[in-house]
A and B are shown apart, each in its own frame.
Chain A
Amino acid sequence: MKPLPPSERLGVLVSNVTQTMLGISFVPVISDQAHPGLCWRTAVMLVNGARPLTVGLSSSQEGCLALTAAMFSCPASAVDPSMINDALCELVNMTAGLLKTEMALDQALTVPQVVTDATVLARLAELHPGLVLKAKEIGLALWAHEGHAIAKLTAAA
């Protein structure tokens, strides 16, 4: 088993997913922080097993609309909230799958959940700073860390 990959590599994994599925490539912006505006919605995947892992993807409202429209091949005006949740969950699902392979973790994926509670996300950002990724006007925050801190935060909220 390997440690969590460095930021650059995490950025490549996310971009592998978005480039393959949406034709959009992201690059990490190490100097930036996952500010609340970038966390309008977050899809979280818990990877259970001997080495619990959390993988999350957040974006702003505009970013979520753009990603979802690309995923469904439809105009942004046709996107509804359930489509946004669906697209974000699927992107985090694929990202977690690639990360698991990268880390040689033989553990099972779970069904992703959507978190919109700003307090929970702010607390999570304090504990585990997210990695900011950019593709032109679209921003993404990637959360990848050991443990299931977000599950406890969500339960406490």
Chain B
Amino acid sequence: MPRILTVDDSRAIRMIVAKQLQPLGFEIGEAEDGNDGLAKLQSAAYDLVVLDVTMPNLDGPGMLAKMREGGNKTPVLMLTSESKTAIVATVMRLGISDFVLKPFKGDELKAKVLKALKLPADYAAPGGAPVAAAATPVATTAKRVLVIDDMENVHKKVRSLIPAERNLDASLNAADALALCRSNPYGLILIDGDLPDTNLPSLTKQLRLLQPKAVLVAMALRTANNVTGEMRAQGFEDVLFKPFVNEAVDALLERSFQEDQELVSAQENCLKLAGFHGRDDKLEGYFQKLSAKLKEAMSKLAEGCFDSAVLDASQLPLGQPMRAAQFMADLSKVSADCGVALRLVGSAELAAVIGGFEEAKSLRLFQSVEEARAAA
């Protein structure tokens, strides 16, 4: 059973932390300042410390420094209202797992604690029900795009350039953007490189803490010299030049959502095809990559002596039926070449698409993965 130490001078916060985590079966210890926290760590081992920054006697960074000096490597999750750059830099240098900015929602805290403990997002107390998936949006919701620019036309322009299926949020200023970042996961954050009244290095640091996996990109004019260098010095990874061009936006999306683009996922001999969320002119590229990935996956199955497999193609785009049918025909050939019989899962629409292709007729189609497995 994981043991967690909450160190905060506020009894209310310690109580809230305990209330959120005890139902997960965690054992919670409490300390009211850094000195008390160090004493508790000496008397018992903990799996995680949830640590405030501003406290009397010995503050959070002070306690963290003493822990690390003494060789204590217990993971630390900072839970604080403090975002001063120097303090954030210090605690990051000393090694923290993550940051939760107050005010915080219980679900956000739970999700970050589970992540810090390397536990699954649906972790349940032994004998208890799993944490409801809907209660952990940070861990389960698809990543989004955030645009921060004081000109609404920029929001509209970005919206017009990214696929409709990709969720986009927009904010006119840094404060609203940070509020959005507390409750949504982002894969790509586009920020006006000339956002009024904003300390950009400070903003990028705060965004980095809240969204460690997001790609931070500055939107800037081409006219200035060495824009890319200047923006990188302010904490950005890249620059998107205004006015925008399709190719640059596409490249950023591909880079930012790479992990979402696992085209073929495999679990033993059950393969699942990812859907397509791009513009129409990118569909051909999707099919080509998908074919290559499937060929690899089928070869691996053959190497593993599987003579049959289930392929969940329910997400396959059918907007260009001829292309989809051609893909299926190619797949049928690969299946035969590898000696792995495929049982396909898909809709009646997919059945109609492949029904007209002689080459794909050898593929057996089922309505669900369970049905396909049962037919083995």
Contact = CB atoms under 8 A, between A and B. Distances in A.
Interface of A: 1-2, 13, 16-17, 20-21, 68, 71-73, 82-83, 86-87, 89-90, 93-94, 96-98, 100-102, 104, 106-111
B174 A96 contact: no
A87 B54 contact: no
B103 A20 contact: yes
A101 B197 contact: no
Q: Which of A1, A97, A102 has the most CB of B within 10 A?
A: A97
B102 A101 contact: no
B19 A86 contact: no
A104 B56 CA distance: 25
A28 B3 CA distance: 43
A94 B12 contact: no
Contacts, number: 83
Nearest to B206: A101
Contact of B85 (A1, A93, A106): A106
A97 B10 contact: no
Contact of B197 (A2, A17, A90): A2
Please classify how large the interface on chain B is, using the bins under 10, 10 to 19, 20 to 34, 35 or more.
35 or more
Nearest to A104: B199
A17 B199 CA distance: 23
24 contacts: A13-B175, A16-B103, A16-B179, A21-B103, A73-B15, A82-B11, A86-B12, A87-B12, A90-B102, A93-B10, A96-B81, A97-B81, A97-B102, A101-B175, A104-B198, A104-B199, A104-B202, A104-B203, A106-B86, A108-B82, A108-B84, A108-B87, A109-B82, A111-B56
Interface of B: 9-13, 15-16, 19, 53-56, 80-87, 101-105, 174-175, 178-179, 197-199, 202-203, 206
A102 B175 contact: yes
Given A73-B19, A106-B202, 11 more contacts: A20-B104, A21-B16, A68-B12, A86-B11, A89-B10, A90-B13, A94-B81, A94-B103, A97-B81, A97-B83, A101-B83
Contacts of B86: 106
Question: Mostly helix, strand, loop or mixed at chain A's interface?
Answer: helix
Contact of B199 (A90, A93, A106): A106
Contacts of B174: 101-102, 104
A111 B58 CA distance: 11
A44 to B, nearest CB: 14
A20 to B, nearest CB: 4
Contacts of A100: 83
A111 B59 CA distance: 10
Contact of A104 (B87, B101, B197): B197
A109 B202 contact: no
Contact of B81 (A1, A71, A109): A109
A87 B8 CA distance: 13
Contacts of A82: 11
A110 B87 CA distance: 13
Given A98-B175, A101-B206, A102-B175, A90 B84 contact: no
A108 B84 CA distance: 6
Contacts of B206: 101
A73 B82 CA distance: 25
Contacts of B81: 93-94, 96-98, 109
Contacts of B104: 20-21
B12 A83 contact: yes
A89 B9 CA distance: 10
A60 B325 CA distance: 72
A37 B322 CA distance: 76
A13 B174 CA distance: 13
Contacts of A108: 54, 82, 84, 87
Contacts of A110: 54
A111 B105 contact: no
A26 to B, nearest CB: 13
Nearest to B108: A20
B54 A109 contact: yes
A20 B105 contact: yes
> Which interface residue of A72, A83, A101 has the most chain B CB atoms within 10 A?
A101
- What 4 pairs between A and B have smallest CB-CB spacing? A97-B81, A20-B103, A2-B197, A102-B175
B331 to A, nearest CB: 49
Nearest to A18: B103
A82 B184 CA distance: 35
B208 to A, nearest CB: 14
